[in-house]
């Protein structure tokens, strides 16, 4: 499997100028290629092939007076920029035709020099690792890298990035083998599996009743942000003082994002090591981010956390499952399985009208997520094994009302 390893890079002032030139040339080539394809489409001409486009916006452009400075940077940067354009078009076409799952992908758009993030990518023939620990990049020189950990294998490509906080990073793509960790053994029961209910008051609630408090890094830094934003609003547009304050604000946002990412890594690693299978709910994060809870939703960073859980379970040989977002996890009693109806968010505890069990709203939802995830995994394993026997109706127990769901203990996984 392919993994990315990010390291901080400290270029010299001369290397910063060379990188800025490389960023600009890659951006110009990308925009020229996009403009050429848009003009061809407007004129009714066929789609411009990659080889023809490369000759037009790189090879031929270098011999013109307007684009002669493209020869001052490595050709690897320019070719990779066109490959990014090709990937953007391919993703767009796959989304339009329905071959790509998930939300619709918009067509590629022009890049701006005012973008907060600038990057260039080098393949194996455009960079090398020195014996002294420095990273050699074509037409840039030897970059000082802050090696926080060694690379597990030789990298296949590297992307040099400058973020909004004026920090430089080197992102290596490495082909690694999965690191399967030992399976958990709890005497044959299913205690090594857990359901996770994500929230805002508590970041995550597990099906065993454990609650992980939300760190709320952005909320903690709100007062500092308000003070810095006031100082930024007082600066004149385009002034040097405004640029200095803007970088301070960007560094503060980067610090909050780094703290959140580090916390996500620690918690996701702990969950993967302590559980054989993890089940979560497929949340509509984009929709929730357009509500009055937008700031808290962004501060929680659910999407980033779930992405970490997913790739870490694959890497370490665990199981990761998502249940549908329309599962009534907050409406069903996890003890008897009856559907008790919707409840407002202000209701944090409720008693089942059938069995009388008093539930914590989040713990009950986590247990229902665990039950639904086990059922989906069971049905998937039976389908993969081409089992002709009919699969029993999920979460319906014999001798009970059809609207009642099977409790957690009533489901067995093959």
Catalytic residues: 197, 281, 362
List of residues 6+ apart from 250 with CB closer than 8 A: 116, 163, 164, 165, 166
Separation of alpha carbons 399 and 403, rounded Å: 12
CB atoms under 10 Å from CB of 340, counted, come to 18
List of residues 6+ apart from 239 with CB closer than 8 A: none
Separation of alpha carbons 367 and 197, rounded Å: 9
């Amino acid at each position: 499997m392919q993994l990315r390893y990010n390291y901080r890079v400290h270029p010299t002032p001369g290397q910063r100028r060379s990188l800025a030139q490389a960023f600009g040339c890659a951006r110009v080539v990308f925009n020229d290629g996009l403009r050429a394809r848009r003009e061809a489409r407007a004129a009714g001409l066929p789609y411009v092939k990659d080889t023809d486009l490369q000759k037009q916006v790189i090879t031929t452009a270098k011999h013109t007076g307007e684009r002669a400075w493209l020869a001052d940077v490595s050709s690897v940067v320019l070719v990779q920029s066109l490959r990014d354009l090709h990937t953007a078009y391919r993703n767009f076409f796959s989304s339009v035709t329905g071959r790509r799952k998930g939300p619709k992908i918009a067509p590629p758009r022009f890049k701006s020099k005012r973008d907060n993030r600038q990057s260039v990518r080098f393949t194996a023939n455009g960079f090398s690792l020195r014996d002294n620990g420095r990273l050699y990049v074509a037409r840039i020189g030897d970059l000082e890298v802050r090696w926080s950990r060694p690379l597990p294998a030789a990298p296949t490509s590297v992307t040099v990035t400058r973020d909004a906080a004026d920090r430089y990073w080197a992102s290596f793509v490495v082909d690694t083998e999965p690191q399967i960790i030992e399976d958990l053994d709890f005497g044959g029961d299913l205690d090594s599996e857990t359901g996770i209910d994500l929230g805002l008051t508590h970041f995550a609630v597990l099906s065993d009743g454990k609650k992980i408090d939300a760190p709320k890094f952005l909320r903690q830094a709100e007062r500092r942000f308000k003070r810095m934003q006031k100082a930024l609003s007082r600066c004149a547009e385009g002034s040097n003082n405004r640029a200095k304050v803007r970088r301070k604000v960007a560094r503060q946002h980067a610090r909050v994002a780094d703290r959140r990412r580090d916390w996500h890594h620690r918690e996701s690693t702990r969950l993967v090591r302590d559980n054989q299978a993890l089940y979560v709910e497929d949340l509509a994060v984009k929709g929730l981010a357009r509500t009055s809870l937008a700031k808290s939703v962004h501060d929680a960073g659910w999407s980033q956390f779930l992405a970490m859980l997913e790739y870490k379970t694959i890497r370490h040989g665990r199981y990761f499952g998502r249940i549908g977002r329309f599962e009534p996890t907050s409406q069903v009693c996890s003890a008897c399985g009856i559907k008790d109806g919707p409840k407002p968010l202000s209701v944090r505890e409720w008693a089942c009208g059938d069995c009388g069990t008093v539930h914590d709203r989040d713990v009950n939802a986590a247990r229902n997520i665990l039950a639904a995830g086990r059922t989906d995994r069971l049905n998937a394993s039976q389908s993969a094994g081409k089992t002709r026997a009919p699969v029993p109706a999920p979460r319906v127990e014999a001798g009970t009302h059809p609207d009642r769901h099977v409790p957690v203990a009533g489901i067995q996984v093959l």
